[in-house]
Amino acid sequence: MRIAVISDVHANLEALTEVTQDIERSNIERVFFLGDAVGYGADPDRCIKLVCDLCEIKLLGNHDYVAMGLESADGFNLMAKESIMWTQKTLKRKSIERLSDFEMEATFLDFYMTHASPEHPWEWNYIFTDLDAQRAFEAFTQTFCLIGHSHIPGIFARRPDGSIEFDSPESLTAQPDHRYIVNVGSVGQPRDGNRDAGYVLVDTETLHFEFRRIPYDLAAAQKKMRKAQLPEFLISRLASGQ
């Protein structure tokens, strides 16, 4: 079975639309979403609707959680806070209802899924270092953990001797006896220096992972953000992918 795993759409409708079309062309049976449908971008309602139409599993991210009013924005930086306050004012009641069906974690076959580190999913911790990954590997029992959150695609592999290696390949086939934490990157706001929308295709039989990058109409997304008077830094960072 071929599945698509998307994350961190961040209300970027132009990016999500292109990714959806790429998924439709790729002979995919199921699509899973790992959180952060909203925040930063100018199309929260339409992105939530599209995620619901597209995805069989839908998880909450920290921006969704704050947008729903379940947590304060105190932990956010100034610009994230400004954009989430705009999102809260903009979101339709129907979108909040849709988000309330999203979950914190899910499993499918030998895959565990959550938005941030599996160690304590509701604490929204990042996995940047080998030590972060070491602790995260103790927190799930499956062979694979699929996450988003950092907007940086890549794979932490844990070898049978317990050592850990991080890599950002274009594709990877899983090795027997290894375990993996796969960050699928971000559809709507990549931060690995590549502006194109990112997501991952997985073949669950061959255990082959493909990191896809899809160009989209960046200028259109930026224009809408300017019209909504969202912070200029958030608008310009889309172009640099940082």
Q: Enumerate binding residues for Fe ion (CB under 5 A).
A: 8, 36
To Fe ion, the closest distance from the beta carbon of 174 in angstroms equals: 25
Q: Measure Cα distances from 211 to 4, 62, 140 in Å.
A: 10, 23, 23
To Fe ion, the closest distance from the beta carbon of 177 in angstroms equals: 32
To Fe ion, the closest distance from the beta carbon of 36 in angstroms equals: 4
How many CB atoms lie under 10 A from the CB of residue 209?
22
Give the residue with the Cβ less far from Fe ion, 184 or 201.
Answer: 184
> Residue with structure tokens 């071929």?
2
32 contacts: CB under 8 Å, gap ≥ 6: 3, 4, 5, 6, 55, 56, 57, 58, 59, 106, 108, 113, 146
To Fe ion, the closest distance from the beta carbon of 27 in angstroms equals: 28
To Fe ion, the closest distance from the beta carbon of 159 in angstroms equals: 29
Q: Is 228 exposed, middle or buried (0-12, 13-18, 19+ CB in 10 A)?
A: middle
The span from the CA of 219 to the CA of 206, in Å, is 38
Give the residue with the Cβ less far from Fe ion, 112 or 148.
Answer: 148
Give the residue with the Cβ less far from Fe ion, 6 or 106.
Answer: 6
Q: Are 239 and 195 in contact (CB under 8 A)?
A: yes
Q: Measure Cα distances from 136 to 46, 70, 82, 200 in Å.
A: 33, 25, 31, 20
Residue nearest to Fe ion (CB): 36
The span from the CA of 99 to the CA of 128, in Å, is 28
The sheet carrying 171-173 orders its strands as 57-58, 30-33, 2-6, 197-203, 208-214, 171-173
To Fe ion, the closest distance from the beta carbon of 63 in angstroms equals: 6
To Fe ion, the closest distance from the beta carbon of 80 in angstroms equals: 9
Give the residue with the Cβ less far from Fe ion, 95 or 186.
Answer: 186
